[in-house]
Amino acid sequence: MPKGISTADELFIDRFKESVQQLLPFSLKIHKNFKQFSMLIYEQTNEYVSESTLRRIFQFENSITPTLNTLDIICRTVGFKNWNDFVEKACLIAEEEQYEILSNLRYYGYNSHDDFYAIYKQFIGSKYLYDVVFALMQSALKKADIFILERFFDLEEIFDSKLPEQRSMSHLYLMRNVGLELRAYPELMRKLITVYAAHPIAQENYIERFVDEEHLNGYWGDLLEEFHKHKTNLEAQLFYHCMMCQRDFQDGDFDSEHLSFLLHFEEKEPVYVIPKIRRLALLVIHYSKTNQPEKLEETLQQIPGNLRPELENCNTFCVMKFCQLVYMQHDAYPMKRYLAYYEQASTKNYHHIFAKRNLNVLKIYQAFVAASDGDIAQAQSMLDSYNPLYIIPTHHTVNETHFRSVQRYITREAEKQNTGTH
């Protein structure tokens, strides 16, 4: 790499060549004008750049990048202070152009498959890449463009296995937003089930990440059934059977055919903690329903072994998810046990937005526990501090339903205390 030039600078070389030729009073397509260009540079800057150097830069297609000193001299010739001044202004222009395209794309979409990929490639490396991909997907859904939708998870620059840390949050929000859009097109989604369920990248980035618990009786349940045909390692099996058992329990079928897998599960290979916590919550429901207090206690004693204090997002999600699932029983005791192990989750200072979000939802269940203990003031205070915007979008209906349910419970318990009844 030439002296003084960074990898980022190289991205602007083509734009630099175009800008210089537009600002010169003569065309560089004419061979003899390079002598005139060299003379102009000397007149403007009192610096010398040879004709041959200028021809290598502007006339030939090659991978040679000019030195920073040469770029500075040429920039001063055509009205910029130096190369950095050009890059700053080029960035501003490029950003304005990209924002213009993004704004129009949101309203009008793409015209053809070639247009889709041309727009996508134009934004690779741009800070608007994820916004553009989401807008392109929205357009594809509106058009019912199966060709593009089937190939979404083949966009290599988005689904790079070596995703840099600074892009990870953008990636997570992209997948969440795409998932929310897909759920709005259930009939179209059904046409994509066989493709996504068999695609390893879709399995990891969409099926296992965007868990649409509110549509287990719809397209999401069908997607999981198809997913189970293709990914059969132990963790995937536990994930599948937990979600299907949850669906059955929510439908009032407490003799779910998937319960057997959960009852006889053995961790013969490493399994991530979240599906294991789902399993414990579902077993708590089962043992409560079937009046097996010894088994219930045995299950609750497994909670400490699944805590992951070093993973604040995972840890906060697990306690929230456990309480959310066992609330199906309207029994505060299992929640109290988990919260006791968790060491006052609501008072710990968490910094990550996902952890804050999980703890915000947890307030609903902490309020229920407090009310069950007779502390109505604490319960109402906890519920009043709940922020309806700090939620997991796929749980929105569940959150709202449970919030209203707990509020009614607090109100009833307060009335009992006021009237002295039990």
233-250 residue pLDDT tens: 999 999 999 999 999 999
Q: How far is CA 216 from CA 212, 243, 307, in A?
A: 7, 8, 27
The per-residue pLDDT for 348 is 60
- Using alpha carbons, select from 350, 363, 353 the residue that is nearest to residue 172: 353
CB 316 within 8 A of CB 350: yes
CA dihedral 221, 225, 228, 229 (to 10 degrees): -160
CB 140 within 8 A of CB 116: yes
* Paired tokens of 147: 């060709």
The per-residue pLDDT for 301 is 94
**pLDDT tens by residue, 103-139:** 888 899 999 999 999 888 877 767 788 888 999 999 9
Report the C-alpha gap between 235 and 222 in whole angstroms: 19
Residues in contact with 137: Cβ distance below 8 Å, sequence separation at least 6, in sequence order: 149, 152, 178, 181
CB 66 within 8 A of CB 75: no
Residues in contact with 131: Cβ distance below 8 Å, sequence separation at least 6, in sequence order: 102
The per-residue pLDDT for 2 is 42
The per-residue pLDDT for 367 is 97
Beta strands in 116-207 (DSSP E): none
CB 271 within 8 A of CB 315: no
* Paired tokens of 306: 């699944």
Residues in contact with 257: Cβ distance below 8 Å, sequence separation at least 6, in sequence order: 248
pLDDT-flagged residues of the chain (< 50): 1-8, 345-346
The per-residue pLDDT for 422 is 55
* Paired tokens of 343: 């060491």
Report the C-alpha gap between 176 and 403 in whole angstroms: 23
Report how far Cα 8 is from the mean position of its chain's Cα atoms: 26
- Using alpha carbons, select from 348, 355, 414 the residue that is nearest to residue 381: 414
